[in-house]
Amino acid sequence: MSNVGLVADRFADRGAAERRLADGGEDAGQAPALLPRLLRGLHGQGQMSLEEHLSVHGQVATARARRRRQESPLIATVEQAGLRGCGGAGFPTATKLRAVAGARGRAIVVVNAAEGEPASRKDRTLMELLPHLVLDGAELAAQAVGADEIIVCVCETVPASQQSAVTAIDERRRHAGARVRTHLSLVPGHYVAGQESALVNYLGGGAAVPTFTPPLPFERGVRRRPTLVSNAETLAHLALIARHGPEWFRQLGTPSQPGSALVTLSGPVSQPGVYEIEHGASLTSLVDAAGGITSPPRALLVGGYGGSWIGGELLPGVVLSDEHLAAHGATLGAGVLALLSADACAVAETARVARWLADQSSGQCGPCVYGLDAIATGVEELASGVRTGAAAQRVTRLAGLVRRRGACGHPDGAARFVTSALETFAPEFSEHAHNGPCEACTRYSELPLPSPTPARARGRARAGGARARDSR
């Protein structure tokens, strides 16, 4: 397995970007085979202007379909590159493009930078510092699917992304390069708001909550038009693939997971933040690039709060590719890599996140509303030592009960997080069940959660009892 996963530019959370590897002033548009790719040319003074962006990456040679009704050549290029969605689900981007392009009616492109995942910062970072790369990708995708409108969705609680997106859209308007009408939409900050159908529902004037599918957005999306919902990072990769081609893209990564990816590294490292890695890079190389460990890690959470834990003893061998992570029951997902230090209480952290996940249910599907609440209560009981013995089995059973029972994947993710925590932290859970809270339980909390916790989007009112709910 490749271990050359060079970690490129990193920037600290507070936006004070700091170059790590100089990129040595190549000519504009010349493709660097190695890293950084997306983060190339970052200068540490905030947003990259359109002029700077073009001097780093060059113009895109737009490949239009020669005739109407003929597929855009970009779709085949993206397919050869093997680009997959970077929002978490990893769906092949070319398949999505093709579905939208083939659907009846004028399409819409939705740039998804909502990033409701509390431990992820990559999309907001992209929007804040490199908006033109994302907008290039959105315009190219719009051309490929025949869309005449782009909606850029950023989280309403992240002013930096908003400001940067406004400036960038305006810059492109003035520069005449913008061929597709582009506007900004601020979406609520709760966890499921960035889910594809929730975003489409919100943009159509409804609440930012998932809807029952079908219809999928490509069939009937925003204003009933075929809609391509694509993660911001995915579009940024697409912008570079359109410039440099599929072979270039595949020079990094593994055959099954080509290219690079943005990851958000948090926890006990010297410089937590957003990094660009090569798929197949070792975790060790990433941690080294982040200045090394500051205290011994107990475990690593991969993929976010719907993801899986890997125990600390296994971390030296961890390789950041889905092929390798599958053995640990994990996928890279949206690139969240959250180290938990051994000083923190893994049980209290699990309980806190489990409760947060329950609160983030949009309150629509019974198994999610009642199931996640019951799971969170079970974990809290285990943490406080109220219940012992069969309580852990009960939580595991409930986690199995909620899987695939919601309109979206939220219950599945929450169940995965909790079951994985129960396995990885089995000794700690057993210790708490018998002896009650430990000294570290209340000392501090490490896993990032938004504060204060945003209330669930739609009504606790509806969770008042299955049989007493309003009929619609």
Partner 1 sequence: MSERLRVNPIACEAHGMCAELLPERVTLDDWGYPIVDDRPLPPALLDHARRAAQACPTLALLLERDRRR
Residues that bind partner 1 (CB under 8 A): 99, 211-212, 214, 216, 364-368, 370-371, 374, 398, 401, 405-407, 466-467, 469, 471-472
Collect all residues with Cβ–Cβ distance below 8 Å to 70 and sequence separation of at least 6.
none
For 274, the enclosing helix (H) or strand (E) is strand 273-278
Least Cβ distance, residue 370 to partner 1 (angstroms) = 4
Decide whether 58 or 366 has the Cβ nearer to partner 1: 366
Decide whether 19 or 469 has the Cβ nearer to partner 1: 469
Least Cβ distance, residue 367 to partner 1 (angstroms) = 5
Decide whether 321 or 360 has the Cβ nearer to partner 1: 360
Decide whether 40 or 220 has the Cβ nearer to partner 1: 220
Instruction: Determine the Cα–Cα distance for residues 114 and 123; give it in Å rounded to an integer.
Output: 8
Decide whether 283 or 365 has the Cβ nearer to partner 1: 365
| Residue pair 242/63 in contact by the 8 Å Cβ criterion | yes
Least Cβ distance, residue 184 to partner 1 (angstroms) = 29
Quick count: other Cβ atoms within 10 Å of Cβ 247?
9
| Helix/strand/coil for 12 | coil
Decide whether 21 or 401 has the Cβ nearer to partner 1: 401
Collect all residues with Cβ–Cβ distance below 8 Å to 402 and sequence separation of at least 6.
367, 368, 371, 372, 375, 411, 412, 414, 415
Least Cβ distance, residue 232 to partner 1 (angstroms) = 24
Least Cβ distance, residue 393 to partner 1 (angstroms) = 14
Provide the 8-state DSSP code for 27: P
Quick count: other Cβ atoms within 10 Å of Cβ 18?
12
| Residue pair 338/300 in contact by the 8 Å Cβ criterion | yes
Residue 187 — φ and ψ, nearest 5°? -110, 150
Least Cβ distance, residue 361 to partner 1 (angstroms) = 11
Q: Which amino acid would we find at residue 68?
A: R
Least Cβ distance, residue 460 to partner 1 (angstroms) = 16
Least Cβ distance, residue 29 to partner 1 (angstroms) = 37
Decide whether 70 or 471 has the Cβ nearer to partner 1: 471
Least Cβ distance, residue 97 to partner 1 (angstroms) = 14
Q: Which amino acid would we find at residue 178?
A: A
Decide whether 188 or 378 has the Cβ nearer to partner 1: 378
Q: Which long-range contacts (CB under 8 A, 24 or more apart) does 216-219 make?
A: 216/99, 217/110, 218/96, 218/99, 218/100, 218/103, 219/103
Decide whether 166 or 374 has the Cβ nearer to partner 1: 374
CB-neighbour burial class of residue 264 (10 A; exposed 0-12, middle 13-18, buried 19+): buried
Q: Which long-range contacts (CB under 8 A, 24 or more apart) does 435-440 make?
A: 435/385, 436/384, 436/385, 437/348, 437/383, 437/384, 437/385, 438/345, 438/347, 438/348, 440/343, 440/344, 440/345, 440/348
Quick count: other Cβ atoms within 10 Å of Cβ 255?
10
Torsion angle of C-alpha atoms 325, 329, 335, 340, degrees rounded to 10: -100
Quick count: other Cβ atoms within 10 Å of Cβ 251?
16
Least Cβ distance, residue 472 to partner 1 (angstroms) = 8
Instruction: Determine the Cα–Cα distance for residues 421 and 437; give it in Å rounded to an integer.
Output: 17
Specify the length of the chain in residues. 472
Least Cβ distance, residue 407 to partner 1 (angstroms) = 5
Decide whether 327 or 466 has the Cβ nearer to partner 1: 466
Decide whether 146 or 217 has the Cβ nearer to partner 1: 217
Decide whether 217 or 280 has the Cβ nearer to partner 1: 217
Instruction: Determine the Cα–Cα distance for residues 123 and 133; give it in Å rounded to an integer.
Output: 12
Least Cβ distance, residue 409 to partner 1 (angstroms) = 12
